[in-house]
Structure 1
Amino acid sequence: MSMRVFNGLLVGVLVATALALLPTSAAQAQVCQHRTGVSHGGGIFPNTFTEDSVCGNQTGAPVHATPDSSSPQVGVMDTAQSWFLCWTRGQQHGGGNNVWYYTQGDRVVSNPERHGYGFVPALYLNTSLDPDDARLAQCPSLPADRSTAYMVYDRVTGTSVRSEEHKRFRSASLVKLLIALDYLETLGPGTAVPTADAQLLQSMLRSSKDNAASALWERGGWETIVSRMVTKIGLTDTAPPADRGMWGYTEISAADVVKIYRYILERADPSFRNLIMGHLRQATRCADDGWDQYFGIPRAVSAPWAVKQGWSAFDEDPRCPVAAGTRSPSARTASVDLASPAMHTSGTLCANDRKIMVVLTLNPLGTTWADAASRITTQAGTLYAAAPC
């Protein structure tokens, strides 16, 4: 197997070295070689794989998001021998069966959050009896197609409407609230924010600029930002990402996002509250990466509102006529779905920020931006209609 593409960098030297030790004749390449004692990240699955099989395969084999040739192609196999982790049944293909093998593509072609992980039809493997030749276990169940969690909290009455509010999701850009708050808490009340940092905070909070978030994330100590905020605010469902560089996969819940807003509004220094909420009240329609972030609250709820939105794993061209920016990198954590397209809306509504609304959603692979935005906007509108300002 050639070196893997991961976040734009070539990795996998150890894998290539290990494969170089395997027999390489044409006849031997036809036989899958089962290995134990290895360690592969699960990709879209939460588990680590400790066994694999190295099999011959056709170069140029497509890697699909799901075991269905109509699903997005997320990677391609550039080499003629690769490791495979498990098998599953899916769409019937030209190989005469419905067996698909799970692997990581040598090259990422779309949906970079997946890092090329997906399914290859048995048609492209040099096997004669599927799945027996590969000697692999059957794959775990795929992540659920879609899920929604929400919480609406009334700061005057103390009442709330909620569903699955402690279910954990990957944060996408909602973690930028913690990055901003930790930066200000570290700076301290009464200390002027340097001009350059003020611009980073503005672009990160108003237009969700990822480069700004990355700069503050690194300077603030990477994952220690999340750990400090968990302790300070008393968050119970929030955890840092498994890879310290991947802030977009911090684990969060609707209940914890409500707690973050309550801390900003009720416990943080007034200057911090005014800065953060002031930017959220001026959230731009077009995000820095080109997406239209007026979904959910800003589309369904009457002004006044202040919002911070989040999204991840959509594979379309941006809808807003602005220059595209760099999206946040991503990595695995053990307990959240990192494969399904995520779209979140969060913020305050009504006069004096009376209500806090958080809606977190996951969608089936291949869901369009428009469909996901319509779904979350409908949900936000339904919640607002049930208890308007």
Structure 2
Amino acid sequence: MKIERVDLLQAHGGWQVLSFLKLTASDGQAGWSEFSEGFTPGLTAVIRAQAQGLVGRDPREIPALMYELNARARPSAGGVNAQAAAAIENALLDLKARALGVPVYELFGGAVRKRIPVYASHTGMYRMRNPDLFRAAGAFVPRRMEDMATLGAEVAARGVGALKTNLLSFAADGTPRVHMPGFARGSAPDPALNATRALADDAAALVEQLRAGGGAGMGVMLDLNFNFKPEGVRRLAAALDPLGLEWLEVDGIDPPTLAALRASISTPIASLEAVYGRAGLLPYLEARAVDVAIIDPMWNGLGESVRMAMLADAFNVNVASHLFSGGLATAMAAHFCAVVPNLRIMEVDLDRVPWHDSLFQGKVEIREGCAVVPEGPGWGVVPDEEGMRLHP
């Protein structure tokens, strides 16, 4: 078996472009992975350049191929190069598993679990940013803080017992506000990343409304992303600690400072979704900086993601998956969550564009608050090329 062809395909995912790598072997079998250019423009070109060097090679020799890819990128490791290598590794894993007729999780010794507890992510944010799209699909779009209770109730009605949202609020006229200065988004992003009393009040009100709708047992997480410095996180935590969050998620803080922050508040800290590899993860574990380590198999590759989880387990830290993309990325995350023993929970998106499922053959089913790992060969989910042509 040799790699004969490299194809990169895209589909319209509503608020994002869904991107895929397809490696076709000499026997006609193909391996797929999903990647995202949302934070890494130019990633497609890097994947193409890296993957073309594998044409003519045996796709089953994954460790040797990945060593070569990573070795060539050592002077510029991480970032775009890491995500490109991850996309290639994930496609190789799918191809090898399909050649063997087994799910990807069998390549890692088998599944610890095949039903994975999930939380609904980005609750409200996609709807507030794309109101016309969701209203046209018949979905409820919030226009005031009290409306967030309706979204909490929707999550509970689907049998999911936990949700996460971002720092959302509303102007007096109903205009939605998504606080993301750390991504330079908004009318006047402030590089100082300060937290005000009003933001703390909004955060507390948001959590209270989501729980009011979801019920007293609804687990709630709040994702602060890269939008605050440690002082600001402490200010928000002072308002949120009494509310019993599952975790407060924060990124972009160095290990000693994050450890001090964790020690100063009672709400658990989740972080590290943007950390690459074991070398990036280790300083945070040594500093005892997090309660939950968030790992992205789309950005790190499933092999390195599993090794990162094993490293976290040595420090008695559980892990959660990171996800913000499409149906194939969801399946990749499900296989990660299936094989790591120290799993906290899996991130999923319940809000999708109406045509999302037509872009894939197979899907990760959500049943009774759990994701069911696909049993088909490979990831168990394959992009539908005809569906993608209908939604370019």
Q: Which has the higher strand share?
A: 1
Find the structure with the greater CA-based Rg: 1
Higher RCO (C-alpha 8 Å, min separation 6): 2
Q: Which has the higher helix share?
A: 2
TM-score, normalised on structure 1?
Answer: 0.27
